[in-house]
Amino acid sequence: MRRRVAVEGADFHMALWMLARRSDLGPAIELLRTLYDVVDDWAARRFLRKLEQERKVEISRAGRQNFYRAIAPVSVDDIVAAKKERQDAGWGGRWCLVTYDLPQDAAGMRKRLIRSMRRVGMGRLNQSTWVSPYDWSETVSAEASARGGATYLDWIRDGDLALHCPVAEAVHRMWPLKRLSGRYREIAKRARALAESSLGRAGLRNALRTVRSWAVIEAEDPMLPAELLPSDWPSADVRDAVLALRRRVSQTMAGVT
C-alpha cells in the first residue's frame, strides 16, 4: 500500500506557477513528486480549491476536465505584494514612525509587536522606535489591536527623520541589506545554473526549492525605495533568473507530460 504524504497548498501554487501555463492536475502532481514520494489527489484538489478562493489559482473546466493556472507569482503572503506596491509607487522622502511604551510584564506582547513590524519591513531606529518609508500604521495597529496592544502605540505619519549619520549608514543599521543582498545573489546563481542544465528529477527538486527560497527572502526584504538601496541591489536580477528557471521547468514538464 502506498503511503500518503501531506502537501502544503503553497507547494501546489508554486508548482502551477512554475509550469507557466494552463495545466490539468497531472503535471502539477508530477512536478510535486520531485519533493514528495506520493501526492494524494484528493488533498491536491482541496488545496487548489482553496487557492482558487484566494484568487491565486484560476480553474477552468472543459467537459469533465479541470484545468488550473496560477494567476499570481508564488509568495509567502499578501504582505509581499503590499510591499511591492509601495515600492513601485515611489517615495516622497517622508517617513512613518511608531514608538511604544509597554508595561514591563508585557514581554509576550512586545515580541508579537516586533514580529509584526519586522513582517512589514519596518526598521528599528532605537530601543522603542521603528521606522519605514511606507505607512504601515493600519496593518500593524490592526494586529496590535487584536492582541490588546494598540493603545500603547504612538504613530507619526509623513514625518521627518533626524539622523546623526549619513542616510546610507543609517539604512544599513536598520535593515540587514548586506545579508539580504548576499542571499539574493546566491539564489540568482543557483537559478541560472539550473536554467542552463538538463533538469532531471534532482534538478526539478532543486528548482522548486530555489523558488521557495526566493519567496522566503522576498518576504524578509523590506523592499525599500530605490533612493535608499545600494546602486547594485540585486532583486531585479534575481527575479529575471527565477523567471528564466520557471520557463526551463515549464519546457521540461511539457516534454514529459
> Within 13 Å, how many C-alpha atoms sit on residue 169's CB side?
4
Residues 164, 86, single domain; the answer is yes
Cell, residue 74? 508564488
Using left for φ > 0, alpha for ψ between -120 and 50, and beta otherwise, residue 55 falls in: left
pTM above 0.95, yes or no: no
Domain containing 13 — which CATH number? 1.10.10.10
Residues 65, 83, single domain; the answer is no
Number of domains in the chain: 3
Residues 210, 247, single domain; the answer is yes
For residues 20 and 74, what is the distance between their CA atoms, to the nearest angstrom?
A: 12
Residues 185, 245, single domain; the answer is yes
Residues 144, 187, single domain; the answer is no
Cell, residue 107? 514581554
Residues 85, 169, single domain; the answer is yes
Domain containing 96 — which CATH number? 3.30.70.240
Identify whether 39 is part of a domain. yes
Residues 244, 202, single domain; the answer is yes
Q: Which of 23, 51, 70 is at the close of a domain?
A: 70
Q: Which of 141, 174, 207 is at the close of a domain?
A: 174
Residues 57, 102, single domain; the answer is no
Residues 129, 83, single domain; the answer is yes
**Confidence at residue 16, expressed as pLDDT on a 0 to 100 scale:** 78
Q: Could you read off the pLDDT tens digit of each residue along the chain, which spans 257 residues?
A: 334 444 555 666 777 787 777 777 777 777 666 656 556 777 777 777 887 888 888 888 878 777 888 877 666 567 888 999 999 999 999 999 999 886 666 677 778 888 889 999 999 998 889 999 999 999 888 877 766 666 778 899 988 888 888 989 999 999 999 999 999 999 999 999 999 998 887 888 888 889 888 988 999 999 999 999 999 999 999 999 999 998 998 888 776 54
Residues 168, 84, single domain; the answer is yes
Q: Which of 174, 191, 216 is at the close of a domain?
A: 174
Provide the domain limits for residue 184.
177-256
Q: Are 66 and 59 in contact (CB under 8 A)?
A: yes
- Helix, strand and coil percent figures for the chain, each rounded to 5: 55, 15, 30
Instruction: List own/partner pairs for 90-93 with CB under 8 A and 24 or more apart.
Output: 90/225, 91/133, 91/225, 91/226, 91/227, 91/228, 93/227
What string of H, E and C letters represents the secondary structure of 16-49? HHHHCCCECHHHHHHHHCCCCCCECHHHHHHHHH
